[in-house]
Structure 1
Amino acid sequence: MITRRFTGLSAVLAGAVLLCTALTAQAREYSVSTVLSDAFPWGQAAEKWAELVEQRSQGRITLRVYPNSQLVNGDQTREFSAMRQGLIDMAVGSTINWSPQVPELNLFSLPFLMPDYAAVDAITGGQAGEQIFAAIASRGVKPLAWGENGFRELSNSKLAIDSPDDLEGLKIRVVGSPLFQDTFTALGANPTQMSWADAKPALTTGAVDGQENPLSVFDVARIDQVGQKYLTLWHYMNDPLIFAVNRTVWQQLPAEDRELLRQAAVDAGAWEIELSRGQRDQRLADIQSRGVEVVELSDAQRQAFAEATRSVYDEWTPQIGEKIVAAAREAVANR
C-alpha cells in the first residue's frame, strides 16, 4: 500500500515537473532597443508595445525595453546593424538613425517634402511606405509598424529665423547624416555633426548657435535652458519611428505569435502617434511660457526654404530611389 502511494506521488511530481518545463519552454523574453526613455513619446511607444504583448500573450512573451541606446553603447547609428546581426532582438527606431544601413530611409529627411501630418500619413500608409518596408526587409530586419518622432523644428540663440538668409553663417548642430549636412549647407549655415551628449554642452558654451529636434525633445530636454531663445516652426522634415524585429527571431516565432507581435506594434504605433500629435499645442504653450520666441512660417516663407534646398533633391534622389521619391511626391500631392 505504501509502495503504491509513493508510486502515485512520484507520478504526480513527475507530471508537475513536465508541466513546468513545458510552460517555461513556452515563455520567452526579447530585448527591445530605443534611443529615448519613456520621458519622451518615443520611449513610451516601446513601453506600450511591451505592455500590449505582455497582456495579449498572458505573460508568455516579455519584451524588455532598453532605452538610451544601451545595447549599442550609446551609438544610435549602430542600432540597425546590431538588430540585423542578432545582437538586438527588436527595436523601435528612427529613420534617421537607420538610414546609413538603409539608404531608402533618407526619403523622410528630404527637406520640406512633408508640409503636414496628412502628408506624413499619405507616405507611410501608401506605396512609398510599402517600398520602404520592403527595403528594410531585404536587409535582414522585419518591419512591423510605424510610429512618429515628429517634425523637427529649428532653434538658435541669435535671432528669430523666418527666411533662408537668416541662417547665413550660423553654426547648427546636426545629426550624423550627410543629407543634413547638405541641407544646412544649401541654406548657408555651418552644420556641425555631433552626438546629443556633446550638443548640450556645445549649445551652453556657444560653440554652436542652434540645433533641430522635435518639440517633444525641445520641451522635455529643456533646450531653452542652454541658450536657445528662438524657435522656428518650419516642419522641414518628419522622423517616423519603425517597430521592427530581427529576421531570424521573426522566422522562429509561431504564426500566431507573429501576428500577436505585429498587431501589438500597429496598435502601439497608432497610440503613440495620437499621443505625440495631441501633445503638440500644450508643449508649444509650455515652451513659450518659458520665454522662447516662436516663429511659425507662412506657406510663402516655407516655400522660400524649399526652393533654397532644391539642390538636395537632385543629389539624393538617386541614392534613395527614383521610384520611392516619385511615389512619395504623388502621395503628398494627392493627400
Structure 2
Amino acid sequence: MPTTRPIARLVATLAGAALLTSALSAQARELSVSTVLSDAFPWGQAAQKWADLVAERSDGELTLRVYPNAQLVSGDQTREFSAMRSGLIDLAVGSTINWSPQVPALNLFSLPFFLPDEAAVDAVTGGEAGEMIFSAIEDKGVVPLAWGENGFRQLSNSSGDIDEPADLEGLKIRVVGSPLFQDTFTALGANPTQMSWADAKPALTTGAVDGQENPLSVFDVARIDQVGQTHLTLWNYMNDPLVFASNRQVWGSLTEEQREMLRETAIEAGAWEIAKTREEQAGRLEAIRERGVTVTELDDSQYQAFVEATDSVHEKWVPRIGEEIVEAARGDIDAP
C-alpha cells in the first residue's frame, strides 16, 4: 500500500505536465507563409510585414514564418496555389499570374492592355470584379484575405528599342508558365519561352533568351541590366496584383479572433506594400536610367498599335476568364 501513493503522485505530475505542454502548444502556433521573392523586393517585404504585424498583435498565439524564393515548392512558383490548397503551405502572398492556371478568373489581370493605370487596378480589386475573383479563389479551396501589388510589367531586351509590335518579331522573350502569356507574345510576333525566374537570369546572361517582362522593382533590385538587358520599354501591358491567402483547413482551425486578426493584418500589410511599390517607381526608373539603360516610353498611337495587335488574345481569353467578370471589371473601371 505505501508504494501506491508515490506512484499516484508521479502519474498525476506527468498528467499535469502533459496538459501544460498541450496548453502551451495550443497557445503558440507557427504557420508557414510562401512567397516567390525575398524581402529584397516589395513582394517579399509584404510577406514579412504581415509576419511582423501578426507578431505584434497575436500575444504569442500565432507566428508566421516566411519561406521566400518559392522554397516550399522547390522553386516552381506555378505550384504554389496547389500546394496551399492541399495543405503543404499554410499561407501565401502569391501572384495572380502564378495562381491563374488553377483559378482562371485571375487571368483578368493578365489580359494585355486591359488595365490602363493604377486607378483602374484599384477600381477592379476594390469593386464587384474583385469580389467575384475572391469568390472564385475560395471555390478552389483557398481563403483570400487581402490584395497586394507586384505592379505593372514592363518589357526589356538586349537587342534594341521596342516601340511597335514589329520590333518584337522573332525575339525570344522569357515568360512565366501561363498560356495567356504565350498567346500574348505570339500575337506580337515574338517567340515566348517559358521558364522559372530561377532559370531566367542565367538564360539572359548566356543569350538563350533576348528579353523578359517584369515590374520595375524586379528589374531594379535583380539588376537585370547587368545581364545584357539594356533596353527597357514602359508599356504597362498588364498588372500583377498579389493575394494574401490561407489554406481552408488552416483557416477553419483558427479561432474567430485569430481569423479577424490575420485578415486585418493582411489588409494592412497589403495596403502598406501597394503604397510602397508605387511610391518607389520614380526613383527606380531614375536609377535604371543612370545605369545606362535606354528607356522607351510609348505615345498614344504607339500604345494603340500594341492594343490592336493583341485583340485576338482578348477574343480567345475573355470566355475562359468569364464574360461576367470581365464585364464587371469594365464597369468598375468606368464607374465615376
TM-score by length of 1: 0.94
Tell me whether 1:115 sits opposite 2:116 in the alignment. yes
Q: Where does residue 40 of structure 1 map in the other structure?
A: 41
Q: Where does residue 273 of structure 1 map in the other structure?
A: 274
Q: Where does residue 221 of structure 1 map in the other structure?
A: 222
After superposition, what is the alpha-carbon deviation per residue over 1:313-332, rounded to whole angstroms, capped at 9, x for unaligned?
Answer: 11001110000011112222
Equivalence map 1:1-335=2 (5 Å): 21-334=22-335
Letter in 2 for 1:205: T
CA distance in 1, matches of 2:76, 2:199: 13
Aligned residue for 1:179, secondary structure, equals helix
After superposition, what is the alpha-carbon deviation per residue over 1:210-239, rounded to whole angstroms, capped at 9, x for unaligned?
Answer: 110010110011000111111000000000
Aligned residue for 1:115, secondary structure, equals coil
Letter in 2 for 1:157: S
Alpha-carbon distance, 1:198 to partner: 2.0
Alpha-carbon distance, 1:13 to partner: 11
CA distance in 2, matches of 1:22, 1:206: 57
Alpha-carbon distance, 1:15 to partner: 7.9
- Contact kept? 2:77, 2:196, Cα under 8 Å: no
CA distance in 2, matches of 1:21, 1:90: 24
CA distance in 1, matches of 2:242, 2:319: 23
CA distance in 2, matches of 1:12, 1:193: 61
Alpha-carbon distance, 1:30 to partner: 0.5
Judged with a 3 Å threshold, the aligned counterparts in structure 2 of structure 1 residues 208 and 28 are, in CA distance, closer, same or farther, namely: same
Aligned residue for 2:243, secondary structure, equals strand
Aligned residue for 2:112, secondary structure, equals coil
- Contact kept? 2:159, 2:231, Cα under 8 Å: yes
CA distance in 2, matches of 1:149, 1:38: 13
Q: Where does residue 3 of structure 2 map in the other structure?
A: none
Alpha-carbon distance, 1:207 to partner: 1.8
CA distance in 2, matches of 1:15, 1:206: 66
CA distance in 2, matches of 1:42, 1:99: 18
Alpha-carbon distance, 1:23 to partner: 3.5
Aligned residue for 1:212, secondary structure, equals strand
Q: CA RMSD in A?
A: 1.9
The list of structure 1 runs, each at least 4 consecutive aligned residues, that deviate by more than 3 angstroms after superposition, is 10-21
Alpha-carbon distance, 1:244 to partner: 0.2
Instruction: Name whichever of 74-83 and 292-301 sits farther off.
Output: 292-301
CA distance in 2, matches of 1:273, 1:97: 19
CA distance in 1, matches of 2:235, 2:107: 19
Alpha-carbon distance, 1:59 to partner: 2.0
After superposition, what is the alpha-carbon deviation per residue over 1:69-109, rounded to whole angstroms, capped at 9, x for unaligned?
Answer: 11111111111001000111010000011011111111110
Letter in 2 for 1:281: A
Instruction: Name whichever of 315-324 and 159-168 sits farther off.
Output: 159-168
CA distance in 1, matches of 2:323, 2:192: 27
Once the two structures are aligned, what percentage of the paired residues are identical?
A: 74
Alpha-carbon distance, 1:166 to partner: 1.2
- Contact kept? 2:33, 2:47, Cα under 8 Å: yes
- Contact kept? 2:27, 2:60, Cα under 8 Å: no
Which residues of structure 1 form unaligned runs of 5+? 1-9
CA distance in 2, matches of 1:160, 1:125: 36
